[in-house]
Amino acid sequence: MRGEPISSVADVRERPLILPRLPVVRPATRGAEPRTGVTPEAAVPRTPSRRPAARWRMADTAFRLTALAFALSVLAITGAIAIELFVRSAPARSAFGWSFLWTSVWDPVFSNFGALPFIYGTLATTAIALMIAVPVGLGSAICLAELLPRRVGDALTFLLELLVAVPSVVYGLVGVFVLVPLMRDVGTPIERLLGGIPLFAGPVYGVGLLTAGVLLAVMIVPFIIAIGREVLLAVPQAQRDGALALGATRWEMVRHVVLPYARSGIFGATFLALARALGETMAVTMVIGNRPDIATSLFAPAHTMAAVLANEFAEAVSDVHLAALVEIGLVLFGITLVVNAVARLLILGMQGQERARA
Partner 1 sequence: MDGHYARRRRMERIMFAATVAATASALGVLLFLLAYLVWQGAGALSLDFFTHLPTPVGEPGGGMANALVGSAKLLLVAAAVGIPVGFLGGIYLAEYDGGAIAFAVRYAADVLNGIPSIVIGITAYGLLVVPVGHFSTLAGGFALGLLMIPVALRTTEEFLRLVPDSLRDASLALGAPYWVTIVRVVIPAGMRGILTGLLLSLARVAGETAPLLFTALNNRFWSPGWGQPTASLPVMIFTYAIAPYEDWHRQAWAAALVLLVLVLGANVVARLTFGGRSAAQA
- Which of positions 209-268 make contact with partner 1 (CB under 8 A)? 218, 221-222, 225, 249-252, 254-255
CB 307 within 8 A of CB 281: yes
CB 150 to partner 1: min, Å: 15
In angstroms, give the least distance from the CB of 129 to partner 1: 14
Size of the site for partner 1 (CB under 8 A): 101
Instruction: Kindly state whether residue 150 participates in binding partner 1, applying the rule CB under 8 A.
Output: no
Q: Please list every residue from 67 through 106 that binds partner 1, using CB under 8 A.
A: 67-75, 77-81, 84-85, 88
Taking CB under 8 A as the criterion, which residues in 299-318 touch partner 1? 306, 309-310, 313-314
Is position 110 an interface residue for partner 1 (rule: CB under 8 A)?
A: no
C-beta closer to partner 1: residue 171 or 191: 171
Kindly tell me the number of DSSP H helices and DSSP E strands found in the chain.
16, 2
326 in contact with partner 1 (CB under 8 A):
yes
> Measured from the CB of residue 203, what is the shortest distance to partner 1 in angstroms?
20
The reply to whether 109 sits near partner 1 by the rule CB under 8 A is no
Compute the distance between CA of residue 262 and CA of residue 282 in angstroms, rounded to an integer.
33
φ, ψ of residue 246 in degrees (nearest 5): -80, 0
Q: How far is the CB of 198 from partner 1 (least distance, A)?
A: 29
Whole-number Å distance between alpha carbons of 223 and 203? 33
Contact map string, positions 268 to 287, toward partner 1, x by CB under 8 A? -------x--xxxxx--xx-
Selected binder of partner 1 within 39, 66, 318, 351 (CB under 8 A): 66
Tell me how far, at minimum, the Cβ of 55 lies from partner 1, in Å. 9
Cα 70–Cα 76–Cα 77 angle in degrees, nearest 5:
95
**Contacts (Cβ under 8 Å, ≥6 apart) of 306:** 122, 278, 279, 280, 281, 284, 285, 332
Q: Which is nearer to partner 1, 191 or 215 (CB)?
A: 215
Q: Looking at residue 15, what DSSP letter applies?
A: S
The Cα 287–Cα 285 span in angstroms is: 6
Q: Assess 169 for contact with partner 1 (CB under 8 A).
A: yes
Of 230, 210, 224, give the one whose Cα is nearest residue 298: 210
Q: Which of residues 36-55 bind partner 1 (CB under 8 A)?
A: none
Which positions from 189 through 208 interact with partner 1, judged by CB under 8 A? none
Neighbours of 104 (CB within 10 A): 14
* Residue 31 CB, nearest approach to partner 1 (Å): 26
Say how far apart CA 148 and CA 129 lie, in whole Å. Answer: 26
* Residue 179 Cβ vs partner 1, minimum distance, rounded to whole Å: 10
Q: How far apart are CA 302 and CA 210, in angstroms?
A: 10
